[in-house]
Chains A and B, each alone.
Chain A
Amino acid sequence: MKLRLKYTGSFVSGFLILALIFFGIFITLIMLDKKIFTEKYYFKTQFADAAGLSSSTPILFRGFNIGRIDDFHLTDENNVEAEFIIYEGFQNKIVKHSALNKSIDPISNASSLTFLEGPDRDAVLPEGSFIPSINSEEGAKLLASGKIEKKGNLLYNILTNLDNTLEVLSVKDSANQNVLKITIASLNVLVKNLSSVMGKLNSLADNANVLVEDNNSTLNQALINIAVLADDIKESNKVLKSGLVHLDTLIVAYSNPGGLIKDIIDSSGTLTGNAGILLEQSAELATTINKEAYKLPVLLNNLNTALRELNLTLEAINTSPLLNIEEKKETKKAFGRKINPK
Chain B
Amino acid sequence: MVSAKNPVLVGKIRSITYFFNFTIEIFYQIIPTFKTKNVSALVLLRQILFTGVEALTLTVFAALVIGALIIVQASAINPNFVHSQMLYSILLIIITRELATLIPALIVIARSGTAISTELGNMVINEEVEAILSFGISPISYLVVPRVFALVFSLLPLAFFFNFIGLFGAGIISFLFYDVDFMDFVLKLAVELSIKDILLTISKSVLFGLSIAIIACYNGLSVQKASTEVPQKTSRAVVESIGTIIFIDVLLALLFQI
Taking the complex as formed, is A22 at the interface, i.e. its CB lies under 8 A from any CB of chain B?
yes
| Segment at the interface with B among A1-9, A89-97, A247-255 | A1-9
Q: Nearest Cβ distance between residue A324 and chain B, in whole angstroms? A: 31
* Cα–Cα, bound, A12→B49 (Å): 6
Over the window 1-37 of chain A, the binary record of Cβ atoms lying under 8 Å from chain B Cβ atoms (1 yes, 0 no) is: 0001100110110011011101101110110110000
For chain A, what secondary structure do more than half of its interface residues adopt (helix, strand, loop), or is it mixed? helix
Select the residue from B42, B52, B186, B190 with max chain A CB neighbours within 10 A.
B190
Give the residues in chain B near A23, CB-CB below 8 Å.
160, 198
Query: Are A32 and B52 closer than 8 Å at their CB atoms?
Result: no
Choice from B56, B153, B156, B193 contacting A26 with Cβ under 8 Å: B193
Give the residues in chain B near A26, CB-CB below 8 Å.
160, 163-164, 193, 198
B160-194, CB < 8 A from A:
160-161, 163-164, 186-187, 189-191, 193-194
Given contacts A11-B53, A29-B193, A33-B191, contact A19 B157 (CB under 8 A): yes
* Cα–Cα, bound, A160→B190 (Å): 33
Give the residues in chain B near A5, CB-CB below 8 Å.
46, 49
B52-66, CB < 8 A from A:
52-53, 56
- Number of chain A residues whose Cβ lies closer than 8 Å to a Cβ of chain B: 20
B23-73, CB < 8 A from A:
42, 45-46, 48-49, 52-53, 56
Taking the complex as formed, is B258 at the interface, i.e. its CB lies under 8 A from any CB of chain A?
no
Q: Nearest Cβ distance between residue A10 and chain B, in whole angstroms? A: 10
A74-119, CB < 8 A from B:
none
Query: Are B160 and A19 closer than 8 Å at their CB atoms?
Result: yes
Query: Are B189 and A15 closer than 8 Å at their CB atoms?
Result: no
Q: Nearest Cβ distance between residue A11 and chain B, in whole angstroms? A: 5
Taking the complex as formed, is B226 at the interface, i.e. its CB lies under 8 A from any CB of chain A?
no
Give the residues in chain B near A22, CB-CB below 8 Å.
160-161, 163-164
Q: Nearest Cβ distance between residue A105 and chain B, in whole angstroms? A: 13
A201-237, CB < 8 A from B:
none
Q: How large is the interface on B (under 10, 10 to 19, 20 to 34, 35 or more residues)?
A: 20 to 34
Query: Are B49 and A29 closer than 8 Å at their CB atoms?
Result: no
Query: Are B198 and A29 closer than 8 Å at their CB atoms?
Result: no
For chain B, what secondary structure do more than half of its interface residues adopt (helix, strand, loop), or is it mixed? helix
* Cα–Cα, bound, A11→B56 (Å): 12
Q: Nearest Cβ distance between residue A276 and chain B, in whole angstroms? A: 34
Give the residues in chain B near A11, CB-CB below 8 Å.
49, 53
Query: Are B193 and A33 closer than 8 Å at their CB atoms?
Result: yes
Query: Are A9 and B190 closer than 8 Å at their CB atoms?
Result: no
Taking the complex as formed, is B195 at the interface, i.e. its CB lies under 8 A from any CB of chain A?
yes
Q: Nearest Cβ distance between residue B133 and chain A, in whole angstroms? A: 27
Query: Are B194 and A30 closer than 8 Å at their CB atoms?
Result: yes
Give the residues in chain A near B45, CB-CB below 8 Å.
8-9, 12
Query: Are B49 and A32 closer than 8 Å at their CB atoms?
Result: no
Given contacts A8-B45, A12-B49, A15-B56, contact A30 B195 (CB under 8 A): yes
Give the residues in chain A near B163, CB-CB below 8 Å.
22, 26
Give the residues in chain B near A20, CB-CB below 8 Å.
157
B63-103, CB < 8 A from A:
none
Chain A residue at minimum C-beta to C-beta distance from B194:
A30
Query: Are B53 and A12 closer than 8 Å at their CB atoms?
Result: yes
Chain B residue at minimum C-beta to C-beta distance from A7:
B49
Query: Are B48 and A15 closer than 8 Å at their CB atoms?
Result: yes
Give the residues in chain A near B190, CB-CB below 8 Å.
29-30, 32-33
A163-181, CB < 8 A from B:
none
Q: Nearest Cβ distance between residue A285 and chain B, in whole angstroms? A: 20
Q: List 21 A-B contacts (CB under 8 A).
A: A4-B53, A8-B42, A9-B45, A11-B53, A12-B45, A12-B52, A12-B53, A15-B53, A15-B157, A16-B153, A22-B161, A22-B163, A22-B164, A25-B164, A26-B193, A26-B198, A27-B198, A30-B194, A30-B195, A32-B190, A33-B193
Identify the B interface with A (CB < 8 A). Answer: 42, 45-46, 48-49, 52-53, 56, 153, 156-158, 160-161, 163-164, 186-187, 189-191, 193-195, 198
Given contacts A15-B52, A23-B198, 11 further A-B contacts (CB under 8 A): A4-B49, A12-B45, A19-B161, A20-B157, A22-B164, A23-B160, A25-B164, A27-B198, A29-B186, A30-B190, A32-B190
